[in-house]
């Protein structure tokens, strides 16, 4: 699993590349929390275009970052969600707490 990130207008954009499962979830959690603290961003955008697989641990990673960001008054968004992962998010109820946008431009304009 590779993480790429950038900050635009106080929004941290995280792009996943690979598989987000129980094997890497804890390391990803730690890395994301460090990035959020270091960059002091208010909002978080997950780009899932290159995410090939996600299990419940991956959902936990996103939900945990949502809790942290929302405590600071920020929002979390997800963009470019692959169809298989979109179904998982719908069934899990994740879309009730995290906004879904088609692309980065839309997410940046709405957050």
Domain boundaries, given as residue ranges, for the chain: 2-110
Q: Is the pLDDT of residue 43 over 90?
A: yes
Average pLDDT value for residue range 8-15 = 93
pLDDT value of position 34: 92
pLDDT value of position 1: 80
Q: Tell the CATH topology of 2-110.
A: Transcription Regulator spoIIAA (3.30.750)
CA 1 from centroid of its chain's CA atoms: 14
Alpha carbons 25 and 27: distance in angstroms, whole number: 6
* 94: DSSP letter: G
Q: Is the pLDDT of residue 106 over 90?
A: yes
Average pLDDT value for residue range 46-63 = 94
Q: What is the pTM of this model?
A: 0.92
């Amino acid at each position: 699993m590779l993480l790429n990130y950038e900050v635009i207008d106080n929004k941290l954009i995280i792009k996943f590349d690979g598989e987000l499962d129980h094997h890497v979830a804890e390391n990803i959690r730690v890395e994301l929390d460090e990035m959020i603290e270091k960059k002091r961003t208010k909002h978080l955008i997950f780009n899932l275009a290159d995410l090939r697989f996600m299990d419940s641990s991956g959902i936990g990673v996103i939900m945990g970052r949502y809790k942290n960001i929302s405590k600071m008054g920020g929002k979390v968004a997800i963009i470019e969600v692959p169809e298989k992962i979109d179904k998982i998010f719908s069934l899990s109820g994740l879309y009730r707490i995290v906004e879904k946008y088609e692309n980065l431009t839309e997410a940046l304009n709405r957050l």
